[in-house]
Amino acid sequence: MKYVDTNQPARPGQVMPVGAANDSQPSGRQLELVPSFDEQPARRAAVGSRSGSHLIDDLKKGETGKNHKLIARIQEKCPGDPLRQVDMLVNQANIEAATGRKRELGIQSYKAYRWRLRKAVKDLVRVNRRLQNISEFGRSHVQALVALWEADDASVAYMQNLLTALRRLCIWLGKPDAVPQIAFLVADPLKARRSYAAAVPRTLSSKGVDPQALCDEMEKYCLVSALQMRLMEAFGLRVQEAVMFRPAIADKGQHILVTYGSKGGRSRIVPVETVQQRDLLERAKAMAANHPKGILVVEPRMQLHQAVEHFRYLCKKKIGLTKKGLGCTPHGFRHEYANMTYQQLTGVASPVLGGPRIDRAAHLAAELEVSERLGHGRASAAKSYIGGHRVLLDFSKKNVLAMAARFKKPEVVAALQAADITRLQVLGGPADGKPMGDVVNCAWDGPVPVTPHESNEPLLAALAAAVGRPCLLVHCNSPAANKLASFEVF
Whether residue 220 sits in one domain with residue 186: no
Range in 57-61, 121-125, 132-136, 219-223 the model is least confident about: 57-61
Say whether both 52 and 175 belong to one domain: yes
Read off the pLDDT of residues 423-451 as tens digits, 9 standing for 90 and up. 888 888 787 777 777 788 888 787 766 55
Are 220 and 121 members of one domain?
no
In a domain, 381, yes or no: no
Residues 54 and 158 in one domain: yes
More confidently predicted of 277 and 17: 277
Q: Can you list the pairs that 347-354 forms with residues at least 24 positions away whose Cβ atoms lie under 8 Å?
A: 350/385, 350/386, 350/387, 351/386, 351/387, 351/388, 351/389, 351/392, 352/198, 352/199, 352/200, 352/201, 352/385, 352/386, 352/387, 352/392, 353/201, 353/203, 353/206, 353/386, 353/387
What is the per-residue pLDDT for 382? 87
Query: 192: pLDDT confidence band, cut at 50, 70 and 90?
Result: low
Segment 295-320 mean pLDDT: 89
Domain match, 89 and 162 both = yes
- The whole-number average pLDDT for the span 58-78 is 81
Average pLDDT over residues 479-484: 71
pLDDT band of residue 24 (cuts 50, 70, 90) is very low
Dump pLDDT digits (tens) for 233-274: 999 999 999 999 999 999 999 999 999 888 877 889 999 999
53 has a pLDDT exceeding 70:
no
- Please name which of 105, 75, 102 lies closest in space to residue 88, comparing C-alpha atoms: 75
For the chain, give the percent of residues with pLDDT over 90.
29
Any idea what the CATH number is for the domain that residue 438 is in? 3.30.460
**CB contact at 8 A, 455 and 434:** no
Average pLDDT, the chain: 80
Query: Is pLDDT above 90 for 290?
Result: no
- Given a cut of 70, whether residue 183 has pLDDT beyond it is yes
- Owning domain of residue 431: 396-488
Claim to verify: residue 221 and residue 297 sit in the same structural domain: yes
Answer yes or no: is pLDDT of 130 > 80: yes
Q: Is position 200 within any domain?
A: no
CA distance 14 to 8: 12
Q: Is residue 26 part of a domain?
A: no
Count the Cβ atoms, other than its own, within 10 Å of residue 14: 12
Q: For the chain, how many helices (H) and strands (E)?
A: 20, 6
- Give the pLDDT confidence score for residue 451 in this predicted structure: 59
Position 396 scores a pLDDT of 75
CATH number of the domain to which 257 belongs: 3.90.15
Kindly state whether residue 355 falls inside one of the protein's structural domains.
no
Q: Under a CB-based contact definition with an 8 Å cutoff, are residues 85 and 134 in contact?
A: yes
Domain count, the chain: 3
Residue 254 and residue 148 share a domain: no
Residue 157 lies in a domain: yes
Separation CA 135–CA 264 (nearest Å): 30
Same domain, 95 and 10: no
Domain boundary among 192, 226, 259: 192
**277 domain residue, yes or no:** yes
Residues 174 and 221 placed together within one structural domain of the fold? no
Residue 195 pLDDT: 67
**CA 382, CA 373: separation in Å to the nearest integer?**
10
Q: Which of 143, 164, 192 is the last residue of a domain?
A: 192
Is 297 contained in some domain?
yes
Inform me whether the pLDDT recorded for 226 exceeds 90: yes
Tell me, yes or no, whether 165 and 51 share the same domain: yes
250 CB-near residues (< 8 Å, 6+ apart): 256, 257, 258, 259
> Which pLDDT belongs to residue 452?
66
Whether 343 is in a domain gets the answer no
